[in-house]
Chain A
Amino acid sequence: MLGTIFDIKHFAVHDGPGIRQTIFFKGCPLNCWWCHNPESQDVNPEKFIKINKLDGKEFRKEVTVGYKIAVDELFKIILGDQVFFEESGGGVTFSGGEPLMQIDFLYKIAKLCKQNNIHTCIDTTGFASDKEIKKIAEVTDLFLYDIKLIDNELHKKYTGVHIDKILRNLKWLDQNNKKAILRFPVIPGITDTEKNISEIKSFIKSLKNINQIDLLPYHNISNGKYSRFKKENKMSNTQALSDNDMKLLKTEFESIEFNVSIGG
């Protein structure tokens, strides 16, 4: 069984508890305007020109982003960092792209991890069928679950899909006592509007178990990636929010008795 991934990050410290290894799956049903990994959207491997500099000279080379990997091979790489997982209470995080797009592969690798006592975490948009969510929940210790825009039409405009399915899956996880941390990308002018924040607050207040949210500040480090991968960047002129604005937002979410952290 093969899956398509495009990167593995070792010593990931912002994608769940402890020291983690994050596996980035390729392919995503969404195409958020602010996506930090535009190279993750297409499920197929993509070619681009990589430029290395040496002594002021540029060396160009065509490279492929994304490669196929077998479950066993990936598991061997994950196991390589076991000493760090055990010491720190960390584990593996499946991110993307949208890992649930490759549900069969994801299920197999996550199950193998669980069988070997490795903590599993899925970083997801939540855009999946209820069957898929239920299946993956069997082998997942923690969901990092995006919540972006409550308004169905705005969600469609900025991410390409409607939110109804996403909210339904989230409610199911909550009702079934699955552990999840919400992740809210704070995008200036898009998700940080008064209306959206108040809608998010009233939605998440209704959750009975989930009580933690990470506020992910927008930053424009990905501008270079858009040009490198020749993708249209709709956000090129957006400026990041100040630390102070982020702190104010943190207080706002704390007022509904959520544990809030900035940056995850």
Chain B
Amino acid sequence: MNTRIKKLRNQSLTAVNKLSPERAILVTEFYKKDIANQVSSRQLSGPVKRAMTFKYILENKKICINENELIVGERGPAPKETPTYPEVSLHSIQDLDILDTRPKVWFRVDNETKEIYEKEIIPFWKGNSQRDKIFAQLSDEWKAAYEAGVFTEFQEQRAPGHTVAGKKIFQKGMLDLKKEIQESIAKHKSSNDPKVSDKIEELKAMDIAANAIIAFAHRHAITLINLAEIEKDEQRKMELIEMARVCRKVPANAPETFHEMLQHYWFIHLGVITEVNPWDSFNPGRLDQHLYPFYKQEIKNGSLTKEEAIELLQAFWIKFNNHPSPPKMGVTALESNTYTDFSLINLGGLKEDGTDAVNELTYILLDVIEEMRILQPSSMVQISKKNPDSFVQRAIKISKSGFGQPSFFNTDAIIKELINQGKSIIDARNGGASGCVETGAFGTESYILTGYFNLNKILEITLHNGIDPKINKKIGIKTGDPRSFKNIDELLDAYKKQVNYFADIKLKGNNIIEKLYAEQLPVPFLSLIIEDCISNGVDYNAGGARYNTSYVQGVGLGSIADNLSSIKYNVFDHKNITIDELLKAMEANFEGYDQLRHDLIYETPKYGNDDDYVDSLAVDVFNIFYDAINSKPTYRGGKFRINMLPTTSHVYFGSVIKATADGRKALEPLSEGISPFQGADKKGPTAVLKSAAKIDHIKTGGTLLNQKFSPSFFKDDQSITKLSHLVRSYFKMDGHHIQFNVVSAITLRDAQKYPEKHTDLIVRVAGYSDYFNDLGENLQNEIIRRTEHEDFY
């Protein structure tokens, strides 16, 4: 890393997280003006109004050029100054105070901002934000289940997003897209489609958005020229002039150099995350594939050196780190409390012709990841059976340094998953995983995460015949007193009914939310990026993409397998205890039931040990969940699907459940992803992988497996080779994803005691990495427990 990058990296790492009112002010100003205009006659269509809002923000926001940087553009007025999106979800003064003062993942909010919120923002948006509209329309059953922690809802404070750039935008400029828009307008005008006027409005909006981003880049070019004029250092002066040239060329035109491509993408990235706050952050996807042609050509003709390419990539990396996840509110702050915004760079995998995609630049990017060692962007490697071992081993060597990147994905499984969902083989091969582990057809799919689904809470409700014992309220349906159940199948039948009941509520609620976004908050800029919104003349939020998928994420598979196993083993098969006694012990949080709790923990078959007795129950639950969700139609004309990932919701979901049959005490975290419950796996990683592979990963849109290793496992090349074989074996069994947490429990304990000594300690949480110091104490403890257990291996 050269001096420039060191400085930029340091600037990014030390920048203070601040809440910026800039965007909220501009959006509010625009909407107020628009209301005034409407009185005087003109009424804008929904999409055009949103495009005009986007244009207004980009025309008026502060242009930020950081000292010595190479890739320009900030979403806020400065690095880590993060905007809000009051038209989506409105922070209250209390929310702002909490953000400002909470000990972790804080955003400083100055008094001026609070005043603006109090006087301008809150009065205008209260009752009118998307969040308020959503809650006003959802059913009482939905609210009861949501409040009890049966599921969460992503789109109540962040707009539907979760998509990734495909190859199109790396080959086309906005002027090319504007031509496509005109062609589409002509095509639709000549058809007798009854929705033609809606389509024309949507396409007009896309055209406005395309112009807006071009103008925004030009504003940067002007600022750069102004800076060049006063710059004393000749070399920097030349750089600034070159950067200005790049900003005039892209994103208006298709990029033709390595530098142009990175800047081109970055403007598009800023456009997507400024238009609304899509969840998760946008990302460039298959970066080594998109960049390689530019790299190869420029290296060949001598216009770029390898060192220059690395410097540009490192500068690009820092831009991601300057952009934390927008500050959340309410329960979402608990379920996903992190600065990370889940931009997941994909490396390796297959080309669209099905051949090995690993190239020279893939390895250079791995070097960049290792050297930068920052939270954002996150990174992963796609591993196909066609990729070389040297690639896998290089990636494992990086993960050994302990910051949890890159994670490992099975390309061959991802492609099968996408084809199973009906994508073409080409679109499937151009896909990958984003966010934590979510499968997607990059550039052609809108795949929205709708919320986590608490599989264990529903078992608790089933065991109380429809009542939530935590709040003593009936929120489920009556499926029979569990004391009358004669075997585990009867319990599973009752559980299935409850899952179907809650899944139905969740999906109905989601369709209401999708309709609201389609009608009220279209995203014409994002619609430019994702195929086939332009040719369909339909917004991304209204089903304009080639593929539309809505996911529900199952949480706590390991825990529920253990809970069912405990009931099957102790109540039905061995008759160690009656269900009545077990429920009483759980109700008492095992106070006075020490021996029982010991037996539940130590003497009962647990998931993660390649034991069919319990693993078959995990498969049963997986299938019940799958059947309840999969293939149901969505409002946008797509399908509901499942994936199995928790982010940090396994902590929140545990906090709404009393003691459970596996011996877990009330309110403690559940298992995460499809990993075994912390400490339940006693037979080592091969047994964990065998258990985890028993569910059919191909039927999902992603599963998350966290495997802990003590650093000694990575000590030499021979060990690294064995780990690569372990990964390949899991992938042979169709495992979707595995990530390594490599840090000793001693280090973590020390960090908990002396956080100041470990400010740079990054650990793998669940599908992403985070600073250990930024994690809540209960999550820290959970990670220590996982790790301690691993130290024995």
Contacts and interface: CB of A to CB of B under 8 A. Distances in A.
B725 A19 contact: yes
Contact of B732 (A54, A55, A83): A83
A52 B663 CA distance: 14
Given A54-B594, A83-B733, A84-B686, A11 B726 contact: yes
Contacts of B729: 19, 83-84, 87-88
B594 A80 contact: no
A10 B728 contact: no
Nearest to A83: B729
Given A19-B729, A55-B594, A88-B726, 12 more contacts: A11-B686, A11-B687, A54-B594, A54-B598, A54-B601, A59-B594, A59-B595, A83-B729, A83-B732, A84-B726, A84-B729, A87-B725
16 contacts: A10-B683, A11-B684, A11-B685, A11-B793, A19-B686, A19-B725, A52-B602, A54-B594, A54-B597, A59-B594, A80-B610, A80-B690, A81-B686, A84-B725, A84-B726, A84-B729
A65 to B, nearest CB: 16
A52 B687 CA distance: 22
B719 interface: yes
B306 interface: no
B610 A19 contact: no
Contacts of A87: 725, 728-729, 732
A238 B255 CA distance: 68
A185 interface: no
Interface string B576-605: 000000000000000000110110011000
Interface string A22-58: 0000000000000000000000000000001011010
A195 interface: no
Contacts of A81: 686, 690
Interface string B667-700: 0000000000000000111110010000000000
A256 interface: no
Interface in B707-749: 719, 722, 725-726, 728-729, 732-733
Interface of A: 9-11, 13, 18-19, 21, 52, 54-55, 57, 59, 80-81, 83-84, 87-88, 90
B730 to A, nearest CB: 9
B71 to A, nearest CB: 41
B602 A59 contact: yes
A19 B719 CA distance: 10
Contacts of B728: 87
A10 B686 contact: yes
A188 B729 CA distance: 40
A52 B683 CA distance: 17
Nearest to A54: B598
Interface in B753-793: 793
A181 to B, nearest CB: 14
Contacts of B732: 83, 87
B594 A10 contact: no
B660 to A, nearest CB: 15
Most chain B CB inside 10 Å of its own CB: which residue of A52, A88, A90: A88
Q: 5 tightest A-B contacts by CB? A: A88-B725, A11-B684, A87-B729, A11-B686, A10-B686
Contacts of A11: 684-687, 726, 793
Contacts of B687: 10-11
Nearest to B732: A83
A67 to B, nearest CB: 16
Interface string B383-423: 00000000000000000000000000000000000000000
A17 to B, nearest CB: 10
Nearest to B663: A54
B598 A88 contact: no
A57 B593 CA distance: 12
A36 to B, nearest CB: 15
A18 B725 contact: yes
Contacts of B597: 54
Contacts of A57: 594
Contacts of A84: 686, 725-726, 729
A59 B733 CA distance: 39
Contacts of A18: 722, 725
A222 B684 CA distance: 20
A165 B426 CA distance: 66
A52 B601 CA distance: 10
B727 to A, nearest CB: 9
A202 to B, nearest CB: 29
Contacts of B722: 13, 18-19, 88
A9 B719 CA distance: 17
A52 B598 contact: yes
A19 B685 CA distance: 11
A54 B665 CA distance: 12
B616 to A, nearest CB: 15
Contacts of A54: 594, 597-598, 601-602
B598 A59 contact: yes
A96 to B, nearest CB: 20
Contacts of B683: 10
Most chain B CB inside 10 Å of its own CB: which residue of A9, A13, A18, A90: A13
A83 B735 CA distance: 13
Most chain B CB inside 10 Å of its own CB: which residue of A11, A19, A52, A88: A11
Nearest to A52: B602
A23 B115 CA distance: 71
A54 B690 CA distance: 28
Contacts of A19: 686, 722, 725-726, 729
Nearest to B601: A54
B600 to A, nearest CB: 10
Contacts of A80: 610, 690
A84 B793 CA distance: 18
Interface in B482-515: none
Contacts of A21: 686
